[in-house]
Amino acid sequence: MKFVQGFVLAFVVALLPVHMACAANGQKKTQAVDQAKPSIEYVIHVKDIPGQIVEVDATFPASGADTTLYLPVWTPGYYVKEDYKKNVVRINAYDKSGNELKIADAGGNRWTVATPGIKELVVRYALLAKERSVSRNELTSSYLVLNGSATYITVKGEESLARVVVLDLPKGWKNATGLKRVKHGHSYGYLAENYEELVDSPIMAGDLEILEFTSMGTPHLIAYNRGAVAVDNEKVRSNLKTMVDETRKFWHAKPWRKYAFLLAFRNSGGGLEHAHSTLVNLNPERFSTAAGYDSFLALLAHEYQHSFNVKRLRPLELGPFDYESTPTVSTLWISEGLTSYYSNLMLKRSGLIGTDGYLDMLSKQISALQNSPGRLKQSLAQSSLGVWSNSNSGIGASDQTVSYYIKGEVAGFLLDAHIRKLTDGAVSLDDVMRAAYAKYSGDKGFRPEDFTAVAESVTGHPLKDWFDKVVESPVEVDYSEALGWYGLDLQKAEEKGKQKLTLYVLKNPSQKQSAQRLDWLGRK
């Protein structure tokens, strides 16, 4: 069988109206691809919607007698090993003249193509897209969700090359992504500077509603599939802008090219962070309730906080990534637990929730921790190190384990109060996080001892004993220091055979305690 190379150019030209429609949805600035810079091209076709099949034409440089192709075995941010290769239902390889090449399954997540004397390799493959996870792909009659690890086969050793994605979509479909929109030949596509950026950039397409706002010089998109649920666009836009403004102010954030909230209304849950976007699943029925909407804001605040804490301020092991091997990390309590702590604080400090609402959220985490037998059997550091085997990416701890989400958020509450008391209110965990961000949000990630060193440098006090006790040891935590500093009480009750612990503001706190609590929670 011959692959007609000219076919790619023909449909790229035909796509011009589709991609020009995207320019009206927060993607107006377009740059041309540097043709002198080597790049890999992916053309994604959406034609077989009933079969839930997505076809991909990928063009790679080739050298040597054989070329190794692979799909990742995990998605950064979701600490579960996955088999994306199982959804490749067809794969063929060709040279640039359309002559078919021999391709062999190399086991695991790999293939091998015989490429003697070949300079350009074209791989055409088909993907089954019928899974609703935030790390996998789904195609329906009204929308498409594409995730990087599940979509983009690449050549081993060529991960640093830039690449362009062109979308061949049904007429009238819009699309949204955190990738940079570029002029590509006679049409438009999206540019990733390397494979890591490509994998880190999900795409959503279909009958989408696309909203826009700008925060501190950065354009933001909110894209969701229409028809699943009634959405108050102005309320969602206003609430997310309020949260984003507070978060960016907290981190002293400089402008980025853009950020995309990709909202998939479907019967599934969860969210996943990316440097320039997040993809979240939202149950339509739950979203329609007041409690569901509050959970929606909390989820979006968490994922947006991740664009700073983990995607930029990151543990040493989380980048550059080896997509064929899973990393071992001991500081996910910082990346996830402190993200939860601060995302909820951003909701309070921005005025989206009140003091009672915030204390209720924190109370639920304290109750969950104190009802967990594993808190006395596994440390926070051990919980992080064992994430690949002891839970579902940190969720659902057993009686032998502790959740780094839950204890990590509680640890943030306790550490913040500890630092404030040590320095008589002159310094807080806020200052530590911003100092760590300034030092480690570039190419260099941090180690556990680096984070401790930053905290000690900012506070001017030794903190190793605190970290040894709360992070490195499975012992009971002490709430008295934090309660006393903020003028709070932790009331205990029993509900359905479990402890229910509830934070309350003291009836008669001192003036100093009230001022310290306002400094912590904000005055809105």
Domain CATH for 269:
3.30.2010.30
pLDDT greater than 90 at residue 523: no
Q: Are residues 189 and 155 located together in one domain of the fold?
A: yes
**How confident is the model at residue 11, as a pLDDT?**
29
| Pick from 188, 239, 190, 230: nearest CA to 209 | 230
Residues 274 and 311 sit within 8 Å (Cβ to Cβ):
yes
Q: What is the pLDDT of residues 70-119, one digit of tens each?
A: 999 999 999 999 999 999 999 999 999 999 999 999 999 999 999 999 99
- CA 117 to mean position of chain CA atoms: 41
In a domain, 77, yes or no: yes
Q: What is the pLDDT of residues 192-201, one digit of tens each?
A: 999 999 999 9
| Pick from 459, 479, 455, 483: nearest CA to 467 | 455
**How confident is the model at residue 75, as a pLDDT?**
98
Cα separation, 126 vs 251, in Å, equals 42
Cα separation, 489 vs 484, in Å, equals 8
pLDDT greater than 60 at residue 38: no
Q: Are residues 274 and 342 located together in one domain of the fold?
A: no
Overall average pLDDT of the 193-221 stretch: 98
In a domain, 500, yes or no: no
Q: Are residues 233 and 328 located together in one domain of the fold?
A: no
pLDDT greater than 90 at residue 16: no
Determine the structural domain holding residue 315 and report its residue range.
Answer: 308-478
In a domain, 519, yes or no: no
> Which tokens in the block code for residue 506?
């003291």
Mean residue pLDDT across the chain: 92
Q: Are residues 188 and 213 located together in one domain of the fold?
A: no
Domain CATH for 362:
1.10.390.10
Cis peptide before 76 (omega within 30 of 0): no
In a domain, 249, yes or no: yes
In a domain, 114, yes or no: yes
Count structural domains, the chain: 3
Residue 143: strand, helix, or coil:
strand
Q: Are residues 317 and 433 located together in one domain of the fold?
A: yes
In a domain, 133, yes or no: yes
> Residue holding tokens 């008589």?
424
pLDDT greater than 50 at residue 13: no
Overall average pLDDT of the 372-399 stretch: 90
Q: pLDDT band at 6, cuts 50/70/90? A: very low
**How confident is the model at residue 34, as a pLDDT?**
61
Cα separation, 82 vs 73, in Å, equals 5
Question: Which H or E run contains 56?
Answer: strand 53-61
Sign of the dihedral defined by the CA atoms of residues 56, 57, 60, 62, in that order: positive
DSSP letter at 402 equals: -
Q: Are residues 133 and 50 located together in one domain of the fold?
A: yes
Q: pLDDT band at 389, cuts 50/70/90? A: confident
Domain boundary among the residues 265, 293, 321 is at 293
Q: Across-strand partners of 75?
A: 78
Residues 470 and 500 sit within 8 Å (Cβ to Cβ):
no
**How confident is the model at residue 183, as a pLDDT?**
87
**How confident is the model at residue 241, as a pLDDT?**
98
Burial of 189 (0-12, 13-18, 19+ CB in 10 A): buried
Of residues 494 and 24, more confidently modeled: 494
In a domain, 45, yes or no: yes
| Pick from 315, 328, 299: nearest CA to 79 | 328
Q: Based on DSSP, count helices (H) and strands (E) in the chain, helices before strands.
A: 18, 24
Q: pLDDT band at 21, cuts 50/70/90? A: very low
Q: Are residues 199 and 219 located together in one domain of the fold?
A: no
Burial of 487 (0-12, 13-18, 19+ CB in 10 A): buried
Q: Are residues 12 and 157 located together in one domain of the fold?
A: yes
DSSP letter at 319 equals: S
Q: Are residues 357 and 464 located together in one domain of the fold?
A: yes
> Which tokens in the block code for residue 446?
């941090």
Overall average pLDDT of the 419-436 stretch: 98
pLDDT greater than 90 at residue 35: no
Residue 223: strand, helix, or coil:
strand
Domain boundary among the residues 293, 328, 344 is at 293
Question: In this prediction, what percent of the chain has a pLDDT beyond 70?
Answer: 93
**How confident is the model at residue 398, as a pLDDT?**
87
Question: In this prediction, what percent of the chain has a pLDDT beyond 90?
Answer: 87
Q: Are residues 161 and 224 located together in one domain of the fold?
A: no
Q: What is the identity of the amino acid at 506?
A: L
Of residues 21 and 119, more confidently modeled: 119
Q: Are residues 244 and 316 located together in one domain of the fold?
A: no
Q: What is the pLDDT of residues 458-489, one digit of tens each?
A: 999 999 999 999 999 999 999 999 999 999 99
Q: pLDDT band at 313, cuts 50/70/90? A: very high
Cα separation, 40 vs 506, in Å, equals 62
**How confident is the model at residue 30, as a pLDDT?**
66
Q: pLDDT band at 28, cuts 50/70/90? A: low
Domain boundary among the residues 179, 206, 233 is at 206
Burial of 171 (0-12, 13-18, 19+ CB in 10 A): exposed
Overall average pLDDT of the 271-280 stretch: 98
In a domain, 89, yes or no: yes
Q: Are residues 287 and 312 located together in one domain of the fold?
A: no
Sign of the dihedral defined by the CA atoms of residues 261, 262, 268, 274, in that order: negative
Question: Which H or E run contains 495?
Answer: strand 488-495
> Whole-model pTM?
0.93
pLDDT greater than 70 at residue 237: yes
Cis peptide before 202 (omega within 30 of 0): no
Largest distance between two CA atoms of the chain: 82
Domain CATH for 132:
2.60.40.3650
Compute the residue count for the chain. 524
